[in-house]
Amino acid sequence: MGHVVLRRVSWMVFCWVAIVGMGIGGIIAVFAVSSANGFREGWQGIPAFLAIMGFIGRIGNCKVILRDDELAVVNPLRTYILPKSAVRGVSVNDGGTLRFHLDDDRKIYSFAFGGSLIDRFVGSSGKAERKAETWLRSDRAESAAGAEAVAPQARWTRCASADAAIVLGVVVAAVGGIWMAFTSS
């Protein structure tokens, strides 16, 4: 089977439209403020744009990955990696959020399928639930046999483009602040 990646197409479209739209709007705003008040004030919008771009990028990075023997739930800040044998079930709650049930009534919620107004009409959470249930039932006997001591893991989510935007925003803000301090009159 390899792996199957579940994500909302609408989120990817929204994220790219927002990033491109904010990029164009940010460039126009920097030029407008710079031409009216000088670059000393105009550059200050750049770190804010980069931080927002990083936030939106993390949202767009959310997904559920179904591998042969494990599940990865990638949320904006945390990624949960679970052996298939640890997953007892999958469901969608009343709000449309996809959740994976573990032992002891623990649940892992998927931000990628967190319920939305559009989902009420499209039903992407329900489709993801059906795909995850099919994945969960496939080869269940084999995965239960080799399910000894692999514990679920929680890690910080890495998203290279979003993290780079946030780091670049911090660097631009720091360099700009130092530049303003040394060039103030």
pLDDT digits (tens, 9 = 90+) for 17-55: 998 998 898 889 888 888 888 887 888 889 999 999 999
**97-101 and 89-92 as β-strands: parallel, antiparallel, unpaired?**
antiparallel
Q: What global pTM score does this model have?
A: 0.82
Q: What is the DSSP code (8-state) at residue 69?
A: S
The conformation of residue 85, written as its DSSP 8-state character, comes to G
150 pLDDT band (50/70/90 cuts)? low
CA distance 5 to 109: 16
Backbone angles phi and psi of 79, in degrees to 5:
-115, 130
CA distances to 54, 57, 125 from 130, in Å = 31, 27, 9
Give the separation between CA 19 and CA 33, rounded to whole angstroms. Answer: 20
Could you count the other beta carbons within 10 Å of the beta carbon of residue 40?
14
Check pLDDT > 80 for residue 139: no
User: pLDDT > 90: what percent of the chain?
Assistant: 51
- Tell me what pLDDT residue 183 has: 85
pLDDT band, very low/low/confident/very high, at 1 (cuts 50, 70, 90): low
Mapped onto helix, strand or coil, the DSSP state of residue 149 is coil
Confidence label for 147 from pLDDT (cuts 50, 70 and 90): low
Residue 96's pLDDT band, with cuts at 50, 70 and 90, is confident
pLDDT value of residue 105? 84
Q: What gap in Å lies between CA 133 and CA 161, rounded to an integer? A: 31
The pLDDT, as a whole number, for residue 142 is: 55
Identify the three-state secondary structure at position 132: helix
DSSP letter, residue 76:
S
Q: Is the pLDDT of residue 146 over 70?
A: no
pLDDT beyond 70 at 75? yes
